[in-house]
A and B are shown apart, each in its own frame.
Chain A
């Protein structure tokens, strides 16, 4: 029986889900907002339906019913973490390619998820509430410096301030209290929480089905971030490889939480880990994640297909013992943003786009040449995933892939990524969530210098028939034919 799945998402993830549906012999249906009608995902399904907006529940459910869909897959972003939307999909007699709304509520709310973790004996960061500078200070003393002050307990990184020395909590309280009063917090309260210096972000992928089978697909590390936006992710985690017992603890905590709520479909349990391997639960994501691809590459399990199968009422076609780690995978995210202008979203028409290829390279993207990129939506253009027998091979493949990639017409972080993956600390897997921010000036400088070198070379090539194809296009003024050097790389000497 053919099934039809409505994909309530856009961009690369909509294309990714459509692919999984087709592989199962199902029919994908996509949706689009009027402003987004020219995007590639619109053509990814058998039909695409206009909706008022990607967050308009009524028009999305109407689109699903009208097209005869029997499953709704929310992708990530938009309504993917809305238990209300999940309930409405189920009430409309459709299946939901995500966890039960009950599990979404229990794990989706940061505060209640943390309380649940505490009950189940999963470590969390100690915290307390403060209503005055004196209280903040007392609280910081109790928890122990360094601490972080936040306007909201659930705040997702907004308005976080770190106090490192005695006395600082009281003075930072005033700044954070302003934010809390501005209404970003829960009733103007300030929360003080233990701060982990140079933490690593490690998360566990879980899968569950209606029969109560809950599996893990090992961990991913997503420590390379900028302002809490993940930039490079890998599976497995370099830290978990290094510290004995860490992986087992993380997997155990994640399964404990997932089993307790009877988790179905795919989800992620996130931890921050200090340099000694102490792990603390921070939150759970009750949806598919952007970086699911690295886990797929190292486990061989198609997570999206599993979501669709479970939504259709099937059991997971694998057991925990079937899930193994094979090699290493690293993902780099290409964003339409300008790293030299404070990472502002950039807009424009993609005038040239070339994806890398070769062994161990996978590109999940939603871009095409000639496409207009708008800052109205998520700025993620493509994810380049490199897989290798070991981490070294994955890094080498990612370097080559990013070198090969071309995105022109819209400013991206590609040059910055190239510098990042060629850094020695990256090769060593020695990084934390704060490293990218700290090293940003030097990384940007290196990226700029490299681009200036390419531009200087291009300046001579332009003079002679820009637009012509092939080597014949350019006969530079200074040309002297000599064959003393050839391909392949690395060809340069400093």
Chain B
């Protein structure tokens, strides 16, 4: 990270030690400049937002792979850049509502998955064509592909 942060993260502009173990940091986050005081107590960094074990803030330890935002079934499936919809939990396909080659629109229900004794709808993440879809009755393990949509760029 080296003080540069990541897109969407925070960028450290200046860090001053104002007293032994006491720091004042000037940071840029989301276009705002904030000044924060922090304290280093042994291996624990205390900030007004919370205390952290220094090692747990190592680059890579902070950001997980893809962010999950907004979609209702995010707890159930993840969507990666290739358009693969993967199960986050072991699921069973109750019904496939689309077939390979079908054209789907964003938000359209493409499958019903069962997990934790509940049937859930899976919606298409984008406009596109179904490249792959698990058939009804099949079990899909955690991380397994439920469907794959070839997304179309739209103008």
Contact = CB atoms under 8 A, between A and B. Distances in A.
A479 interface: yes
A450 B38 CA distance: 13
Interface string B49-87: 111111111110010100111100011100000000000
Most A C-beta atoms less than 10 A away, residue of B24, B42, B43: B43
Contacts of B57: 451, 454-455, 458-459
B14 interface: yes
A351 B55 contact: yes
A461 B49 contact: no
B88 interface: yes
B11 interface: yes
A470 interface: yes
Interface in B1-60: 1-3, 5-6, 8-12, 14-25, 27, 29-30, 32, 34-59
A318 interface: no
B39 A159 contact: no
A479 B17 contact: yes
B110 interface: no
Interface residues of B, number: 72
B132 to A, nearest CB: 22
B145 interface: no
Interface in A397-418: 402-406, 408-409, 414-415, 418
B154 interface: no
A388 B62 CA distance: 34
A486 B69 contact: no
A354 B17 CA distance: 24
Contact of B68 (A340, A461, A485): A340
B119 interface: yes
Interface residues of A, number: 68
B55 A478 contact: no
B16 A471 contact: no
B64 A340 contact: yes
Contacts of A449: 10, 29-30
A342 interface: yes
Contact of A342 (B14, B21, B50, B74): B74
A457 B36 contact: yes
A456 B39 CA distance: 14
Interface string A454-489: 111111111000110111111111111111111101
B47 to A, nearest CB: 5
B54 A458 contact: yes
A23 to B, nearest CB: 31
A491 B16 CA distance: 14
B135 interface: no
Given A182-B114, A352-B55, A484-B18, A450 B50 contact: yes
B15 A460 contact: yes
Interface of B: 1-3, 5-6, 8-12, 14-25, 27, 29-30, 32, 34-59, 62, 64, 67-70, 74-76, 88-89, 94-95, 112, 114, 116-119, 121
